[in-house]
Amino acid sequence: MPALLVISLIGTIMELDMSVPSFPDIADSLGTSGSSVQLTITYNFFGYCLGALAYGPLSDRFGRRTVMLAGNTVMLIGALGCAVAPNITALLASRLVQGVGASTSVVLVFVIIADVYKGNQLFKMFGLTNAAMSAFMTAAPALGGLINRTIGWRGNYATVFGITLVSLLLMAFLLPETKGELEQVSARKVAADYRRLLASKEFIAASLVPSLLFASYMVFIASSSFLYTDTFGLSTVEFAGHLLIIVASFAVTSLLASKIVTLLGGPERTVAWSMAVTAVGILLFLVFGEGAWATTGPIAVFCIGFAAVYPVVFGRSMNVFPELQGAASSLTMSGRALLVTLLTGVASSLFTGHSIVTSGVMAVAVAVAAPLAFLKPKAAAAGAETPEAEAVAEAG
């Protein structure tokens, strides 16, 4: 089953980075502006936000298998709509639908793993899954650039459709139900759990840090193709190479995260050093980001800091209310998607073809996240090592 779960994530993980190299060609083909094409990310993450809130509770009520099949069917429909979209309006609507479906596997794969595995085996499975996701992220830009150059931008969405179809068929035949006993989940209980989480300052702080950093990264991704190809004059293939370096800096650091925590002397020192690296990367981009390498270098530095701090701060958010980890995960993922929707929407509306808007919006997000990263939840401040800290140590 681990291989099947990884396969179910391929389309979800690759669908965004594969499409980015083709943004200028989409604008030309559909006769629209670059800022309108950037909104495909905004709409995609708004759909992701809506889906992420629902799939956790729905899987408790109807089972993991049923919801996985239903959600991935929605993603399949969205991918097909993107591949055949006749205009930007249809493309945006299809990206919204695709986002609603894409959140299914991201939310439920980790829930299924928690259903099946316990203890160290659980942490090892989390590490294996994160490593696979990082590998897909690394490969996506180059693959997207190659497909765009060979058969055009619609080919990227058609490829995602094909990947999703294969994974959906495999799940239909091979995915077992892992939820032992279905629960009578009511809207009132779900709302009460969410209210409890939202009333906690510790949870809000721990949840916002990784979400703001991820939203900052997505602001860059949304504008990157236009910066590199239109402003810096690179070809689509050259741009894909730069994006590969950036994504790889995040992916490789993610694979080494547990070793980095040990090397730096523990989670708190990791937070301090990683946030400093993240801030330095954004500052360099803000000051010098007017060329291809002057952009790629600072953003790679930002990604290294982001990837190193992520498991620590995300683990904090899951440990504030251990009994509500499912609701906490859904709320964090949904809030993250909402932040991406808002920040990419603002950045795309202000985008003029230069990096100053992109770097400025990213800098604001990092400036808000930085002080929150040093606010430890009460559970973590008690002195005992949290399960999430142990997970970081084991998952690498």
Asked if residue 56 has pLDDT above 50, the reply is: yes
What per-residue confidence (pLDDT) applies to 393?
38
Model confidence band, residue 124 (pLDDT cutoffs 50, 70, 90)? low
| CA pair distance 115, 322, nearest whole angstrom | 15
Asked if residue 380 has pLDDT above 60, the reply is: no
Average pLDDT, the chain: 85
Per-residue pLDDT averaged across 330-340, rounded? 85
What per-residue confidence (pLDDT) applies to 190?
83
Q: What is the pLDDT of residues 236-269, one digit of tens each?
A: 888 888 988 998 888 888 778 778 888 998 888 9
Backbone angles phi, psi at 200, to 5 degrees: -95, 115
Per-residue pLDDT averaged across 111-125, rounded? 71
% the chain with pLDDT above 90: 39
What per-residue confidence (pLDDT) applies to 130?
67
Asked if residue 86 has pLDDT above 60, the reply is: yes
Q: Which of 45-49, 153-157, 385-389 has the highest mean pLDDT?
A: 153-157
Q: Which residues contact 191 (CB under 8 A, 6 or more apart)?
A: none
Per-residue pLDDT averaged across 332-360, rounded? 88
Our CA dihedral for 106, 107, 111, 113, rounded to 10 degrees, sits at 0
Total-model pTM: 0.77
Asked if residue 391 has pLDDT above 50, the reply is: no
| Total domains in the fold of the chain | 1
| CA pair distance 258, 185, nearest whole angstrom | 36
Model confidence band, residue 70 (pLDDT cutoffs 50, 70, 90)? very high
What per-residue confidence (pLDDT) applies to 184?
74
**Residue 388 within a domain:** yes
Asked if residue 119 has pLDDT above 70, the reply is: no
H-only helix segments in the chain: 2-19, 23-30, 34-62, 64-84, 88-116, 119-151, 153-174, 187-198, 201-225, 236-255, 257-264, 267-288, 292-319, 325-350, 355-373, 378-381, 387-395
The DSSP result for 190-222, as a single string, is HHHHHHHHHT-HHHHHHHHHHHHHHHHHHHHHH
Asked if residue 360 has pLDDT above 90, the reply is: yes
**Residue 346 within a domain:** yes
Q: Is the dihedral of CA 142, 144, 145, 147 positive or negative?
A: positive
Backbone angles phi, psi at 386, to 5 degrees: -80, 160
Q: With contact defined as beta carbons under 8 Å apart, do 324 and 199 qualify? A: no
Per-residue pLDDT averaged across 48-68, rounded? 86
What per-residue confidence (pLDDT) applies to 329?
73
Tokens of 274: 């990683």
CATH of the domain at 266: 1.20.1250.20
Contacts of range 354-361, beta carbons closer than 8 Å, 24 or more positions apart: 354/227, 354/231, 354/290, 355/223, 355/227, 355/231, 355/285, 355/289, 355/290, 355/295, 356/286, 357/223, 358/219, 358/220, 358/223, 358/227, 358/289, 359/282, 359/285, 359/286, 359/289, 360/286, 361/216, 361/219
Asked if residue 353 has pLDDT above 60, the reply is: yes
Tokens of 164: 């999703």
What per-residue confidence (pLDDT) applies to 384?
40
Model confidence band, residue 382 (pLDDT cutoffs 50, 70, 90)? very low
What per-residue confidence (pLDDT) applies to 32?
93
Q: With contact defined as beta carbons under 8 Å apart, do 379 and 305 qualify? A: no
**Residue 28 within a domain:** yes
What per-residue confidence (pLDDT) applies to 76?
96
Model confidence band, residue 16 (pLDDT cutoffs 50, 70, 90)? confident
**Residue 141 within a domain:** yes
**Residue 383 within a domain:** yes
Asked if residue 364 has pLDDT above 70, the reply is: yes
Report the run of H or E that residue 228 belongs to, with start and end. Answer: none
What per-residue confidence (pLDDT) applies to 325?
66
| CA pair distance 145, 225, nearest whole angstrom | 11
Q: Which residues contact 5 (CB under 8 A, 6 or more apart)?
A: 109, 112, 113, 129
| CA pair distance 396, 394, nearest whole angstrom | 6
Model confidence band, residue 326 (pLDDT cutoffs 50, 70, 90)? low
184 in helix, strand or coil?
coil
Per-residue pLDDT averaged across 300-321, rounded? 84
Which range has the worst mean pLDDT, 6-15, 120-129, 323-332, 374-383? 374-383
Per-residue pLDDT averaged across 369-384, rounded? 68
**Residue 206 within a domain:** yes
**Residue 44 within a domain:** yes
* Amino acid at the residue 395: A
Which range marks the domain in which residue 125 is found? 2-174+185-395
Asked if residue 373 has pLDDT above 60, the reply is: yes
Q: Between 384 and 30, whose confidence is greater?
A: 30
Q: What is the pLDDT of residues 177-215, one digit of tens each?
A: 887 777 777 778 888 888 998 999 888 998 899 899 989
**Residue 180 within a domain:** no
